[in-house]
Every structure is written in structure tokens, then in C-alpha cells.
Amino acid sequence: MATVEASSSDGKGQGVETPVTYYRLEEVAKRNTLKEMWLVIHGRIYDITRFLNEHPGGEEVLLEQAGADASESFEDVGHSSDAREMLKQYYIGDVHPNDLKPESGNKDPLKNNTCKRRYSLRFPVPFLLHVGKQILLRRPC
Ligand code: HEM
């Protein structure tokens, strides 16, 4: 079931209200046939049914991603800015917030409290003690 909600931002900080249709991932997963094909790229859903036989990379690669999150494979190919621009034509909505994956790892160093020593003192300290002892105990010849 699709949910339509107003988004409070147009992405430019202008505060323009644009309705966004949210779809659950289970809805997207059902659209995996040649008759109806959707895929997800960076949390956005695209209906690529009419694009299938126009895709310069062939329809085979799209079929493999049908109904699923294709963000990684889309990026791996290194699509041009023209290709990214084309996405707009096929955009139909966003992934429902409840289905969004959490950010992997906490990249904020202030929130990451684990202090990791960047070098180890285990090797140089005993080594220097050993060398110092050898020098002190050295017998004059
Ligand atoms: C709606 C989504 C997509 C659009 C609009 C799109 C568009 C394009 C365009 C315009 C090209 C020509 C090269 C370029 O301008 O970058 C291309 C090539 C290609 N695409 Fe996509 N693509 C989409 C999704 C995907 C996905 C999900 C894959 C998965 C692997 C894929 C794989 C490829 C490959 C392998 C090529 C050929 C690259 C080459 O020959 O160098 N595309 N695509």
C-alpha cells in the first residue's frame, strides 16, 4: 500500500511542499517482471518498465536488479551525469521510512568514544630497556 505525504523540503532549503509517495519494499519486490519493473536507487523508487529495452547497458542487467535495491550496481558501473538525469523520468516515489536501512557505522568521531591507540608501545619499550641494559653492563675491553 502506497502512502502519500507532504515533504517539507524541495532539497534546496526553500521549504516548498511536494507530495511524496512512499512504498514499502515488499511492494517494490513484487514489481520484478517484464510487465512491471521497479527498482530502488538510493532510497528512491523508479518504474523502469518502459526503459528496459532502451537501456544502453542492456535489459539483462536491469532484470537482475528487478524489484530490489540497485544502488550499488548502479554506482559500480559509474553511470554518467546524463544517466543520473534520466532517472528523474522514471521516479515514482521513495522507500517508506520504516524500510530504510540504518547508516552503516557511526562516522561521527565525537560520538565514537572508543579510543584506539594508533601505535603500539609493546615493541619499542622492552627493546630500548634491553639495549640500555647491554650498554650499562658492557665490560671495557
Ligand atoms: C533507471 C536506472 C538506470 C538508468 C537511467 C541507466 C542509464 C544508463 C545510461 C544512459 C547508460 C549509457 C552510459 C552512461 O551514460 O553512463 C548506461 C549504461 C550501462 N548501465 Fe545503466 N542505467 C540504469 C540502471 C542500471 C543498473 C541498475 C545497472 C546494473 C548493473 C546498469 C548497468 C549498466 C551497464 C553495464 C552499462 C554499460 C556501461 C558501458 O558500456 O560502459 N544500469 N545506463
How crowded is the C-beta side of 6, counted as CA atoms within 13 Å?
4
Beta pairing, strands 3-7 & 44-47: unpaired
Cβ neighbours of residue 89 under 8 Å, at least 6 residues apart?
Answer: 51
pLDDT tens string 37-83:
999 999 999 999 999 999 999 999 999 999 999 999 999 999 999 99
Ligand 1 binding pocket (C-beta < 6 A) is: 46, 48, 51, 55-57, 61-62, 65, 70, 73-74, 77, 79-80, 82-83, 86-87, 90
Predicted structure pTM score: 0.73
The complex's ipTM? 0.94
Q: Nearest 5°: phi and psi at 111? A: -90, -15
Query: Which structural domains are found in the chain, ordered by start?
Result: 21-95 (3.10.120.10)
